[in-house]
Amino acid sequence: MRVAVAGATGRTGGEVAREAAKRGHEVVSLSRTPEGDQHDIADLPAVLAEADALVDFTVPEATVEHAAAAADAGVPLVVGTTGFDEDGLAALRTAAEQTPVLKASNFAKGVQALRRVVRAGVAALPDYDVEVTETHHSGKRDAPSGTALTLLEDIEETRSDALERTYGREGTHERAPEEIGVHVRRAGTVRGEHEVLLAGDDEVLTLTHRAESRRVFAAGAVDAAEQLAGRDPGFYDFSEVL
Ligand SMILES: NC(=O)c1ccc[n+]([C@@H]2O[C@H](COP(=O)([O-])OP(=O)(O)OC[C@H]3O[C@@H](n4cnc5c(N)ncnc54)[C@H](OP(=O)(O)O)[C@@H]3O)[C@@H](O)[C@H]2O)c1
């Protein structure tokens, strides 16, 4: 396959380019400031005319533009970028009317398993307090992480009572039963850690995933690109493609 990578100079896009090349794919690296054999992101439409997939790990405002180009070219799009607002998500859905689009807040297979385990845990312990904590490197822009937001949606869909997200805490008041605590830490080079804590009377269950390198995200994103080839236009879920 010929795989175009937007954000190939970045932390995660760079891993995607290496992973795709390792699997024998032809990689076209895109950058706003191209060097060597990289292509200028401004030439994306021309690159897409000869590409089998576009993998994007950039920033939401750029991804939205790249999605429109992928839709015009009918090239499958894998989106790893996180932090979209409603308009950004709507733009991705519009692109999905013309080409296959797969967006995942986390391409680690372990996180897909974590999602299932969290749903099962929350269903089994319906009246337990729930707290979600995520930790990422100091360069991460969006908070809470896209993965934490996905886990929160999973928990909220599983619990029958209406939970209220509480971001951090300070002051002097007790925890309300409907609260779901959300805690964000930014430090050092941490690749990504997510913990869901369920606590009842005299017991605590913690479910944790830790990415130990960005290669897990890259591997999942390249899997997704391979799986999208030949599919109909539409908005795909990573777990469904796995
Ligand atoms: N889904 C997942 O599994 C997963 C895993 C890890 C990270 N992420 C997400 O992936 C995204 C990238 O993270 P990262 O840590 O790799 O970031 P990063 O190291 O900052 O890399 C982002 C790259 O995007 C390009 N870029 C930035 N602004 C751009 C713009 N306006 N137009 C076009 N290109 C632009 C830059 O390349 P040039 O300067 O060369 O253009 C940069 O190298 C974030 O949203 C992050 O949350 C998702």
Residue 143 sits in a domain of what CATH number?
A: 3.30.360.10
Report the separation in Å between the CA atom of 8 and the middle of ligand 1, taken as the mean of its atom positions.
8
Give the CA radius of gyration of the chain. Answer: 19
CB of 80 closer than 6 A to ligand 1?
yes
What is the tens place of the pLDDT at every residue in 200-221?
999 999 999 999 999 999 999 9
Q: Which residue has the higher pLDDT, 128 or 241?
A: 128
Average pLDDT over residues 98-123: 97
Q: Are residues 84 and 176 in the same domain?
A: no
| Residues 127, 97 share a domain | no
Has residue 91 got a pLDDT over 90? yes
Instruction: Decide whether any atom of ligand 1 lies within 6 Å of the 99 Cβ.
Output: no
Section 64-92 average pLDDT: 98
Does 100 sit behind a cis peptide bond, omega within 30 degrees of 0 on the bond before it?
Answer: no
Q: pLDDT band for 35, please (50, 70, 90 cuts).
A: very high
Please check whether residues 86 and 203 belong to one and the same domain: no
Q: Which residues are catalytic?
A: 136, 140
Contacts of 86 (CB under 8 A, 6+ apart): none
Domain count across the chain:
2
Identify the residue whose C-alpha is closest to ligand 1 atom 33: 62
State in Å: Cα 235 to ligand 1 middle. 21
Average pLDDT, the chain: 97
Place of tokens 């897409």: 48
CA distances from 176 to 132, 136, 162, 179, 232 (A): 15, 28, 12, 5, 46
Residues 152 and 162 in one domain: yes
113-117, Cβ contacts within 8 angstroms, sequence gap of 24 or more: 114/151, 114/194, 114/196, 114/207, 114/209, 115/150, 115/151, 115/154, 115/239, 117/207
Per-residue pLDDT, 240: 82
Per-residue pLDDT, 43: 97
- Pocket probe mutation, ligand 1, options 59, 103, 190, 241, max atoms within 8 Å of Cβ: 59
Q: What atom in ligand 1 is closest to the CA of residue 137?
A: 15
Q: Does 101 share its domain with 137?
A: no
Q: Which domain holds residue 233?
A: 2-107+214-241
Residues 77 and 173 in one domain: no
Residue 169's identity, in one-letter code, is R
The answer, yes or no, to whether any atom of ligand 1 lies below 6 A from the CB of 59, is yes
Q: Which residues, other chains included, contact 101 with Cβ-Cβ below 8 Å and sequence gap of 6+?
A: 67, 70, 76, 77, 79, 92, 93, 95, 234, 235, 236
**Phi (first) and psi of residue 96, to 5 degrees:** -70, -10
pLDDT computed for residue 242 by the predictor: 77
Residues 54 and 117 in one domain: no
Residue 17 confidence (pLDDT): 98
Q: How confident is the model at residue 99 (pLDDT cuts 50, 70, 90)?
A: very high
In this prediction, residue 21 carries a pLDDT of: 98
Please tell me whether residues 17 and 35 are part of one structural domain.
Answer: yes
